[in-house]
Amino acid sequence: MNSQTEPSEKKKKNLNPSLSLFSLPNDILLNCMARISPSYYPKLSLVSKTFASVISSSKLKDTRFRQKTCEKILLVGFHYPTKSPSPSWFSLWLKPNQALTNDLEKKEESTGNALLVPIPSSYCRRPPTFMCKVGSECYAINRYCNPSFDLSVTTLGTGIWRKVPKMMTVAREDPIACVLDGKIYVMGGCSEDESKNWGEVYDTNTQTWESLPDPGFLRVSTLRKVEVMGKKIYISSNNWDVYDVYDTIEGTWEVVARMFESSVVVDYVRYCYTGTNFIWYGMKHNGSRRVNGLSVLERHCRAGSGHIEMANYGGKLLIIWDEFVYNARLRHEKTNIWCALIAFEKRNGDEEVWGNVEWASSVLTVPLSCILLRHVMKAV
């Protein structure tokens, strides 16, 4: 009976090759990988060169787009002055199927359930220098290691990229950029002596480039990020006390005192960090108000250097900040990078906003000289 119902050892060995994912055609393997959450990609990329190649390929992203399985991930850029003038990029990785904890009050080391994973060793090969949507088209600057003149465009839903008819007048390496009124403003990423073309703007309607006025000392600064408020463009640099502001109507630059370190809009409410507190601005209210319930988080942020990034992370507020650490025994200085996810609740007839820290963790340790530059949200 057993000899008839149970396969022989020889037959079992013959079945093994057919059970391997590596024996599947590439199209089927892509379809399988596209159904897996990107949270698993960092580990899967270590399994084999085949997996690493599939995970880093553009075909996987196209497949995820067609299957509507794309997820947004956070990418964070750091500047290592002793290594390279270009930023080093990391992606936020959350350990799958693990409850994240609030480590703000804990003295022991972080649980390691949330980490910033270096790129390209993680599943996302290269973050976009810039990407924006204008009408039914998406524009991107896609070169990160070598200076490039290229601005690419795709019609949404096609997945086919092409270069815009006219290139930038200056080759750029990791510039900052933004979009306002159908125009794409690109600045930096080139030699500081490029005063004439240090910044330029691309009109998506006329498909032409035009140089911006000379911004002065901003040309020799380390650029952190760019924000659009009204008809003005605010540039953050290593001069922490001020913004360099470009007025798109007047076509002029000015320097203004910084009112807050960072800000972001979540559910039509703007949240800001002033250097001491978290505040919010509502459309129905005059002036700013303090976010309640975040005193512990504020204390930790004040203990750092004050360099903070904020992102809308699925309708919640994700905060990234640095914390100076000194080991007296080893005489060693370093910086811990922290992340915290905040959910908000409106009370008292929308007159109060309360924040709840859902999780907070140290996600990366970097040298003291390393500078937290900026973040990007990317669909993968």
Q: Please check whether residue 375 is in contact with residue 311, taking contact to mean a CB–CB distance below 8 angstroms.
A: yes
Residue 16 pLDDT > 80, yes or no?
A: no
Residue with tokens 């020799």: 220
Residues 232 and 204 in one domain: yes
Residues 136 and 112 in one domain: no
Q: Is 11 a domain residue? A: no
Q: What percent of the chain has pLDDT over 90?
A: 19
Q: What percent of the chain has pLDDT over 70?
A: 83
Angle ∠(312,189,214) on CA atoms, nearest 5: 105
From the number of C-beta atoms within 10 Å of its C-beta (0-12, 13-18, 19+), residue 363 rates as buried
Q: Is 48 a domain residue? A: yes
* Mean pLDDT, rounded, of the chain: 80
What Cα–Cα distance (Å) separates residue 76 from each residue in 88, 126, 176, 251, 352? 8, 12, 14, 31, 31
Confidence class for position 179, pLDDT limits 50, 70, 90? very high
Q: What is the mean pLDDT of residues 183-195?
A: 85
68-82, 105-119, 168-182: lowest mean pLDDT where? Answer: 105-119
Residues 196 and 287 in one domain: no
CATH number at residue 232: 2.120.10.80
Residues 276 and 340 in one domain: yes
Q: Is 377 a domain residue? A: no
Q: Is 142 a domain residue? A: yes
pLDDT digits 0-9 by tens, 123-155:
555 555 677 888 888 888 865 456 677 788 888
Confidence class for position 15, pLDDT limits 50, 70, 90? very low
Residue 1 pLDDT > 50, yes or no?
A: no
Angle ∠(268,347,286) on CA atoms, nearest 5: 50
Q: Is 205 a domain residue? A: yes
Q: What is the DSSP letter of 122?
A: S
Instruction: Give 31's Cβ-side CA count (13 Å radius).
Output: 5
Q: What is the mean pLDDT of residues 272-280?
A: 89
Confidence class for position 13, pLDDT limits 50, 70, 90? very low
Quote the number of domains for the chain.
Answer: 3
Residues 244 and 267 in one domain: no
Residues 248 and 141 in one domain: yes
**Domain containing residue 367:** 78-125+261-372
Alpha helix segments (H runs only) across 226-371 = 295-303
Domain finish residue from 204, 237, 257: 257
Residue 55, H or E segment: helix 49-56
Residues 203 and 239 in one domain: yes
| Count of other CB atoms within 10 angstroms of residue 139 | 20
Give every CB contact of residue 124 below 8 A, 6+ residues apart in sequence: 38, 41, 73, 75, 91, 378, 380
Q: What is the mean pLDDT of residues 291-320?
A: 87
Q: Please check whether residue 367 is in contact with residue 69, taking contact to mean a CB–CB distance below 8 angstroms.
A: no
Residues 229 and 173 in one domain: yes
pLDDT digits 0-9 by tens, 312-371:
988 999 999 988 877 666 566 788 899 999 999 999 888 899 999 999 998 998 888 887
SS3 state at 115:
strand
CA-closest candidate to residue 170, choices 191, 184, 154: 191
Confidence class for position 206, pLDDT limits 50, 70, 90? very high
From the number of C-beta atoms within 10 Å of its C-beta (0-12, 13-18, 19+), residue 353 rates as buried
Dihedral pair phi/psi, residue 324, rounded to 5°: -75, 135
- pTM for this predicted structure: 0.68
Domain finish residue from 240, 257, 274: 257
